[in-house]
Amino acid sequence: MTLKPIPQDPRGPRAFFGRRAGKKLHKGQQALFETLLPELSLDISAPFDPRALFPDAKHIHLEIGYGGGEHLARMARENPGDGFIGCEVFTGGIGKLLETIDTEGLRNIALFPDDVIKLLAVMPDASIDLLYVLYPDPWPKPRHHKRRLIQFPVLAEFARVLQPGGTFRFATDIEDYANWTLAHVLRTPEFVWPISAPGAWHTPYPGWVPTRYEIKARRQGRSTSFYFEFFRTDRTNER
C-alpha cells in the first residue's frame, strides 16, 4: 500500500463538529435531562481519573459519539464489572441512552454531553483500556474533511489516554472514511494494526450487534462496513 502524505495540523486537536439537537425531547426524556443527567455527567473543571470514578472496574471503556447508546448500553449490561464513559453531543441520542440507563438501572456508565476534545484534555495518561468510534459523521465533502474526528492530533490523544496494549475500535460504512482513518492510523506509530487475512476488516467484532444506524444503512443500500481494530503499542517500544 502506498500512502500519500497527509499534513498535520500544528494547532493540535480541534473542536469536534457534531449535530447537537434534532426533534424536541419528549416529556420523559426532558425530565431525565433535569434529574438523571446531572448525576451521571462528568465534572471536568479539574483533571479527573477514570480509575477513581470506577475504582473496582476491571476495564475502563470510552465511546465517542454513541448515538442512541445501543452499543454502549449493551456493553455495560454484558460487562457489569467494567466502567463506561460515553461522550455524545446530540440531545436526542443522550435522551435515548438516559431512558435505557433509567429503565435498566445501569450503574456503570458516566456521561460527557459535550465536545470530546475537552474531555480528552483532562484525562490522565494510560487511563482507559478500550476506546470506540463507531459510525462517526463522515463529513463526505472534501472541504469538510477537516471536521472529521480522526485527525493526527486526536489520534495522539487517543494513544496518550489508552493503556499499553489497549484497543481502539473504529467502524464505518463509508469507504472513503475507512481509507482516511487507515491512512492516519498507519502513520501514528503508537498504534499497530494486526491483519489476520485480506478482507478481515469487513467481519464485525466478536459479539457485535448492529446499531440502528447500521440497520438503516443496510436498508439504504450501504451493505459493506469496515470494522478496524487497532492496538496501543507498548510504551517501551515507541519511536
**Annotated catalytic sites, by residue?**
137
Phi and psi at 238, nearest 5°, equal -65, 150
Range 61-95 burial, b when 16+ CB lie within 10 A, else e: bbbbbbbbbbbbbebbeebeebbbbbbbbbbbbbb
Other C-beta atoms lying within 10 Å of the C-beta of residue 204: 12
Instruction: List the beta bridge partners of residue 169.
Output: 132, 229
Find all residues with CB under 8 Å of 178, minimum gap 6, and list them: 172, 201, 226, 228
Helix axes 91-104, 70-78, angle to 10 degrees: 30
Q: Specify the 3-state DSSP secondary structure of 31.
A: helix
How does DSSP assign 52-111, residue by residue?
HHSTT-S-EEEEES-TTSHHHHHHHHH-TTSEEEEE---HHHHHHHHHHHHHHT--SEEE
Strand intervals (E) in the chain: 60-64, 83-87, 109-112, 128-134, 162-172, 191-192, 226-232
